[in-house]
Amino acid sequence: MDQKIGMIGVGIMGSAMSANLLKAGYAVIGYDVDPQRMDALVHTGGSAAGSCREVAEEADVIITSLPSIEALQQVVNAKDGLVSGEKKNLIVIETSTLTLEAKQSAHDSLMAVGATILDCPLSGTGAQAVKKDIVVYASGDRKACEACDPIFNGFSRANYYVGEFGMGSKMKFVANLLVTIHNVSAAEALVLGMKAGLDPQIMVKAISDGGGTSRMFEVRGPLMAAGKYDEATMKVDMHQKDIHIISDFAGKLNCPTPLLSAAAQIYTAALAAGRAKQDTAAVCAVLEEMAGFKRQSSKL
């Protein structure tokens, strides 16, 4: 394909998207503050840029996958950021889970130099992203979103246009509320079963095939059954950030979220137990401890 895609942020999600876009035939040029991630991108067939501005100069469309508001601000407004290139008609697909205010600020800065930014958060884990099993919630200029359909198809299994800029993030907040609750409910069910003497591997198979399943049970249940959380596809500390964003969003709307509030305490307990960098499936280990249940071989 002639179109070159820029990828700014090649961590868990960004690297998965890059790999799938390369497989789809796109040329990918990336930038990340972590040199090891850049090396990994080059190893998979992409090329490395020296700055966000350089990505903007060479790419037709840029995808950003970033961990924080500060990172987005730097990518857009720093000395060598996207704004500094003043590239007209540049399209930026912003996929991070951040506040509406942060996204709007980036939108205004890029619009001032003739660039278009789309708010397109992703639903799915890093492991799902590797398999192209993620969904894009696209929002912003409709024509620009439609023009990006082939790119979305290169790294996701589906995309939905959900409305004006910012609606993508709102949809993601709703989806992540469910992810947060379903992840804890999966762990709670497995701990109950294990304490009752049920085999966790059999539980995952049987429950996944019945009415009590959820996507999170199917994705994270195997990790919980194995009790292995170190190879994280969504780290506990990163998800804690998402919980705060959702809670703040709901609070501004005066909308009660009692189940989210209850589930959030388990993630906080996971942080207190030193599991910040583990996969969020580690909430199962927290509930095991609360239940006074110990497996024959368990480790942090």
pLDDT tens, residue by residue, 28-81 = 999 999 999 999 999 999 999 999 999 999 998 999 999 999 999 999 999 999
Residue 297 has pLDDT above 80, yes or no: no
Answering whether pTM is above 0.85, one says yes
Among 114, 106, 62, residue whose Cα is nearest residue 88: 114
Question: CATH homologous superfamily for 170-290?
Answer: N-(1-d-carboxylethyl)-l-norvaline Dehydrogenase; domain 2 (1.10.1040.10)
Spatial contact of 13 and 69, defined as CB atoms under 8 Å apart? no
Average pLDDT over residues 140-150: 97
Q: Are 67 and 95 in contact (CB under 8 A)?
A: no
Q: Distance between alpha carbon 11 and the CA centroid of its chain, in Å?
A: 10
Region 253-278 average pLDDT: 98
Q: What CATH homologous superfamily does 4-165 map to?
A: NAD(P)-binding Rossmann-like Domain (3.40.50.720)
Ranges in the chain annotated CATH 1.10.1040.10: 170-290
- How many Å apart are CA 212 and CA 289, to the nearest integer? 24
Cite the residue boundaries of each domain of the chain with CATH code 3.40.50.720: 4-165
For residues 97-108, average pLDDT:
97
